[in-house]
Structure 1
Amino acid sequence: MKKILIVVAAFLMTATAYAQEKEPLEETDSQKRLNQFNEVKKHEVSLDVVAAIAGLGINPRYEYVLGRYSGVGVDLNIGILDDADGFNYYETFSITPYYRQYFFSKEDYGAKGFYGEGFAKVFTFEDGYFEIDLFGSGRNVTESYTEAALGVGIGWKWVSDSGFLIDLGFGIGRNLGLANDPQGYDLPEVTGRGGVNFGWRF
């Protein structure tokens, strides 16, 4: 009889321990805030303030937060330079979709901190050169080109509890060689990406 009681007691103890393991752990206040924030605030809009202040272009950005560790987005660049600014090569327009993976995101709210990204960029740019005709006179010529690039970047994003964000990042991409200069001039083989974005997550 004692052996039966011992076996039954052991069985009950094992079943109780197993049930306790299966019970979901109660969420901490930090986890509740994280889940609520990520469920509600998944959209970000921002602007590259450095490019805007320097008069290089208008660079708005939109990002959709997929989860605590990832997001997808798109950058636009609308160049506002002209020939009088003295730049031989400058972008006039670009669109850059990207995917980001966030690392070491141990803070309350996800999709922030250090990140790495991959991007594809399609852009137009202008390049100027001096052309001499048969009579020895010359003139400045500006040609427009369309190019595409694939690249990677890194950066860091800060997001406050209210949703205000600062995003500092940079990257580099390899041009695919779609642009062709009829004059035989060497066009850039790489393109850059980066800036300091201020914005809001909502």
Structure 2
Amino acid sequence: MKKILLSLVVVLISATALAQDDNLTDSQERLNEFNAVKKHEVSLDVVAAIAGLGINPRYEYVLGRYSGVGVDLNIGILDNDDQFDYYEKFSITPYYRQYFFSKEDYGAKGFYGEGFVKVFSFEDSYYVGGMFGNENYNTESYTEAAIGVGIGWKWVSDSGFLIDLGVGVGRNLGIASDPQDYELPAVTGRAGVNFGWRF
């Protein structure tokens, strides 16, 4: 009798699960199709590009509805001319993101929190006095790494067009020795307004 009752419960649960799959709304069906096919994103930080600060491409792979992994590059194109004590020339930033509040969305969009590791190089330019009153202009390069966190919001249209607005802060690990004329900052920032495409 127990075996018959157990078999009946299993059949009812299976039938209920199948009925739920058959009763998906149009939005849920589009969500499933979208997530099954579109898992790659490429984007560019348009603010940095327009301001002439750097070229910042990004790639993200959607792991699922609530998470993704990716990497940012920053290629500095600004001619410093000693305007900044600390000018980032290049960085690579792998990250992991967790998305929240996306039950009605296509997944991997909306509000997110992220953890990242940033490895970056920067230049310090300074004047050194010469023997006869003349000054020499020196530029030195340094490499540093940081671990940090960030938050942001991503919008993704049905066609795959996306806008990603995010900020973050990381703690420098102290790999680089301090430049001659100042002490390195303890933190590094991360921010951008990315436009791109999910495919």
When the two structures are superposed, what TM-score results if normalisation uses the length of structure 2? 0.88
* Cα shift readout 1:104-140 (whole Å, capped 9, x = no counterpart): 1122300000000000011110112232234443233
- Between 189-198 and 16-25, the greater mean CA deviation after superposition: 16-25
Change beyond 3 A, Cα 1:108–1:184: closer
Q: How many percent identity over aligned positions? A: 75
Give yes or no for the alignment of 1:68 onto 2:65. Answer: yes
The one of 95, 99, 102 aligned to 1:98: 95
Give yes or no for the alignment of 1:169 onto 2:161. Answer: no
The residue matched to 2:183 in structure 1 has which SS?
coil
Letter in 2 for 1:20: L
Letter in 2 for 1:71: G
- Between 50-59 and 82-91, the greater mean CA deviation after superposition: 82-91
The residue matched to 1:105 in structure 2 has which SS?
coil
Matched residues in 2 for 1:21 and 1:114: separation?
34
Change beyond 3 A, Cα 1:183–1:112: same
RMSD of aligned alpha carbons: 2.1
The residue matched to 1:197 in structure 2 has which SS?
strand
The one of 127, 136, 150 aligned to 2:147: 150
Matched residues in 1 for 2:174 and 2:46: separation?
30
Q: Report the counterpart of residue 5 of structure 1 in structure 2.
A: none
Letter in 1 for 2:78: L
Give yes or no for the alignment of 1:20 onto 2:12. Answer: yes
Q: What are the residue-to-residue correspondences of 1:14-93 with 2, within 5 Å?
A: 16=8, 19-23=11-15, 24=17, 25-26=20-21, 27-84=24-81, 86-93=83-90
The CA deviation at 1:32 is 1.5
> How many residue pairs align between the two structures?
193
Change beyond 3 A, Cα 1:17–1:83: closer
Change beyond 3 A, Cα 1:37–1:17: same
Matched residues in 2 for 1:180 and 1:85: separation?
19
Asked if 1 retains the 8 angstrom alpha-carbon contact of 2:124 and 2:179, the reply is no
Matched residues in 2 for 1:176 and 1:188: separation?
11
The CA deviation at 1:30 is 2.1
Asked if 1 retains the 8 angstrom alpha-carbon contact of 2:48 and 2:55, the reply is yes
Asked if 1 retains the 8 angstrom alpha-carbon contact of 2:126 and 2:181, the reply is no
Matched residues in 2 for 1:87 and 1:52: separation?
18
Matched residues in 2 for 1:187 and 1:15: separation?
69
Asked if 1 retains the 8 angstrom alpha-carbon contact of 2:82 and 2:126, the reply is no
The CA deviation at 1:201 is 0.2
Segments of 5+ residues of structure 1 without an aligned counterpart are: 1-7
Give yes or no for the alignment of 1:191 onto 2:188. Answer: yes
Matched residues in 1 for 2:37 and 2:5: separation?
42
Change beyond 3 A, Cα 1:195–1:104: same
Asked if 2 retains the 8 angstrom alpha-carbon contact of 1:119 and 1:150, the reply is yes
Asked if 1 retains the 8 angstrom alpha-carbon contact of 2:119 and 2:145, the reply is yes
Bigger radius of gyration among the two: 1
